[in-house]
């Protein structure tokens, strides 16, 4: 009797939409969202004693193409990475570097002082400092 092949083949890559939904579920406590189209830079969020720090990798993005704003209880990061055509001849075999507009929206917790949020952009990294509300009667 011949041996039956019980190998199950899976797609080598999960669809981008499933990845996006999974990413949304993981980041839901902070209310992170990504736009469906365009380029979406990776972000890190960590906490210090006085603030939350959000860092976004934005290689190839110019400072004037980045916008950080607070809208209601949301922090919005927007920008654009432009495709620079520096090749005058030849052809691409594949192109993995993303470009285009991006938008990230994050719901801020109540204990972030929205009036003192600051941002700096240096060496392709956007760093947004989200200070915590100071407790009344607590000495610095």
Tokens in use for 73? 């209880």
- Over the chain, what is the mean pLDDT? 76
Quote the pLDDT of residue 134: 85
The mean per-residue pLDDT over the stretch 42-65 comes to 92
Percentage of the chain beyond pLDDT 90 is 34
Asked whether the beta carbons of 114 and 70 are under 8 A apart, the reply is yes
pLDDT tens digits, residue range 74-84?
A: 999 999 888 76
Give the max Cα distance, the chain.
Answer: 82
- Residue scoring higher pLDDT (109 or 11): 109
Flag whether pLDDT at 26 surpasses 50: yes
Quote the pLDDT of residue 9: 42
Tokens in use for 116? 């003192």
Percentage of the chain beyond pLDDT 70 is 60
Which residues lie below 8 Å from residue 124, measured CB to CB, with a gap of 6+? Answer: 57, 58, 59, 60, 61
Asked whether the beta carbons of 65 and 58 are under 8 A apart, the reply is no
Q: What ranges do the domains of the chain cover?
A: 37-82+100-133
CATH node for 37-82+100-133? 2.60.40.790
CA-based angle 50:56:58, to the nearest 5?
Answer: 150
Three-state DSSP at 37 gives coil
Total Cβ atoms within 10 A of residue 66: 18
pLDDT tens digits, residue range 83-130?
A: 766 555 667 666 667 778 888 888 888 889 999 999 999 999 999 999
pTM over 0.85: no
Please state the length of the chain: 140
Tokens in use for 88? 């005058």
């Amino acid at each position: 009797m011949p041996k039956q092949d019980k190998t199950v083949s899976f797609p080598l890559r999960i669809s981008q939409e499933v990845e996006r939904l999974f990413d949304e579920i993981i980041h839901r406590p902070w209310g992170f969202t990504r736009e469906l189209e365009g380029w979406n830079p990776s972000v890190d969020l960590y906490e210090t004693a006085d603030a939350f720090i959000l860092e976004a990798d934005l290689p190839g993005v110019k400072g004037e193409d980045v916008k950080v704003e607070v809208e209601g209880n949301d922090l919005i990061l927007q920008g654009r990475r432009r495709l620079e055509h520096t090749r005058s001849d030849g052809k691409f075999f594949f192109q993995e570097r993303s470009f285009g507009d991006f938008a990230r929206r994050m719901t801020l917790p109540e204990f972030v002082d929205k009036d003192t949020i600051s941002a700096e952009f240096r060496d392709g990294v956007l760093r947004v400092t989200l200070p915590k509300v100071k407790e009344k009667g607590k000495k610095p």
